[in-house]
Amino acid sequence: MPPPSSGCWTGLTWTSTWTRWLFSGWASPLSSWSPAVPIWFSWLLSGSSTCPWSTWGRSGWESQLLETGFLGIFLCPLWTLSPLPRGTPTSRIVLWGYRWLIFRIMLGAGLIKIRGDQCWRNLTCMDFHYETQPLPNPMAYFLHHSPWWFHRFETLSNHFLELVVPFFVFLGRQMCILHGALQILFQMVLIISGNLSFLNWLTIVPSLACFDDATLGFLFPSGPGCLKDQVLRMQEEEARGARAPWTHGSVARHTVNLALGVLVAWLSIPVVLNLLSPQQVMNSSFNPLRIVNTYGAFGSITKERTEVILQGTASPNASAPDAKWEDYEFKCKPGDLKRRPCLISPYHHRLDWLMWFAAFQTYEHNEWIIHLAGKLLANDAQALSLLALNPFAGRAPPRWVRGEHYRYKFSRPGGTHAAEGKWWIRKRLGPYFPPLSFQDLKGYFRSREWPYPKPE
């Protein structure tokens, strides 16, 4: 749609109608009176699983979900279900809140890289990333074997998109639109090449605020009485100076939006100082509600992939040479060498992700893995539901469970291992934790006040 005669593309009263529909479209069926209400409810539920009193682990995308959802509350009108309410135009403050969010996400990610691992500066990180990322997908297998010059191009492109392109937001309408298009394209490439949960899908959301009605008008049907026609008439009326009358509700809404802008600006001060600091931290927050946060990803890249393989045996003697150890298989993380890498985005297997972290630490840093071993010794149904394969299904629980440490590498396409149907090759590094029995874990569980599992 053409911008109004004032030329104020960010201040267009009905601008980014489609962005507002993004939130109201899924929320409206949940509420008979306002899409803002279920967004409030969803935000509170998300906060309950990420606040300090929660027992859930935190991830960077959970903070990002909270901030994105919080801004969404103010994007939608509170008292109407109309797709185009005349008295509650899209707030410029909310739109700029989303642009400020995508700016911080991308610049934070770029700065943490350039200040972090040396491989980002010598352009070699992509030589390792596809193989060592938390949960590779099938495309990562083939991208890993790309020529060296392609990996250098990828790294340079990443630096351009995260360190240069974010500033396009502040360089006028055309550059802001270009910023939004490039970031969405970048996120789609990341979705295709890895399993990063809903992070990349979520990052697309604030990028949509970079587009105005003139850019997104083709998404709406044309014709008399259609949404596009209504917007055009409202813009023409505004250009002539005709505005909707002020009401108590519109005054309250403008006041709330102004307060939101002041709040975001105030909470952004420590975030900006963090971005400027050589000791930058990522995926953190400086306020308890995590409304304005600091972001970043892959500041360091692991050069080798290691995996913890959990195994069980029914042998009464774990040290016996003839003890048969059988592998537990997780739903997504590498294990069976012949199993194709999973494709789960935008879903998230949290346990598989935590196993990736545990593999380059020790079990002393990850006591939860010993807790999991106790659950496996009991054939605990809830714990086993998180796995893809229980080798002791339909029979007695294992007498012993152990963790083995392996180095994993992608097989080479067309090579001997690939011809055998193997996606991975592996080499044993040693024990991760020793064989454990129920009796071994009694004192361990008691000292940590964990409930002792009962065999099922």
| Spans of all domains in the chain | 6-23+31-276, 305-448
User: What does the pLDDT read at residue 79?
Assistant: 67
Helix (H, G, I), strand (E, B) or coil at 435: strand
Q: Return d(Cα 128, Cα 155) in angstroms, integer.
A: 11
CB 167 within 8 A of CB 342: no
Average pLDDT over residues 368-379: 94
Q: In this prediction, what percent of the chain has a pLDDT beyond 90?
A: 57
Distance CA 348, CA 330 (A): 13
Distance, in Å, from the CA atom of 96 to the CA atom of 258, rounded to the nearest integer, reads 12
3-state SS class at 380: coil
Strand order in the sheet with 400-410: 326-327, 305-313, 400-410, 424-436
How far apart, in whole angstroms, are the C-alpha atoms of residue 212 and residue 233?
16
Residue 91 above 50 pLDDT?
Answer: yes
- Within 8 A by CB and 6+ apart from 395, the residues are 314
Write the CA distances from 335 to 130, 171, 236, 310, 406, integer angstroms: 17, 48, 62, 9, 10
Residue 61: exposed, middle, or buried by beta-carbon count in 10 A (0-12, 13-18, 19+)? buried
Query: What local confidence, expressed as pLDDT, does residue 254 receive?
Result: 82
pLDDT over threshold 90, residue 451: no
Using 50, 70 and 90 to split pLDDT, how confident is the model at 244?
low
Looking at the DSSP bridge assignments, the partners of residue 410 are: 424
Query: What's the Cα-to-Cα distance from 18 to each of 11, 37, 97, 211, rounded to whole Å?
Result: 15, 19, 16, 9
Cβ distance 433 to 369 under 8 Å? yes
Distance from C-alpha of 145 to C-alpha of 127, rounded to nearest angstrom: 9
Average confidence (pLDDT) over 133-154 = 96
Average pLDDT over residues 341-352: 92
What per-residue confidence (pLDDT) applies to 110?
95
- How much is the mean pLDDT over the chain? 84
Chain segment 97-120, per-residue pLDDT in tens: 999 999 999 999 999 999 999 999
Within 8 A by CB and 6+ apart from 383, the residues are 372, 375, 376
pLDDT at residue number 43: 55
Q: Which token pair is 123?
A: 């352009």
- 90 φψ region: left (φ > 0), alpha (ψ -120 to 50), beta (else): beta
30, pLDDT greater than 60: no
pTM of the model: 0.84
pLDDT higher than 80, residue 195:
yes
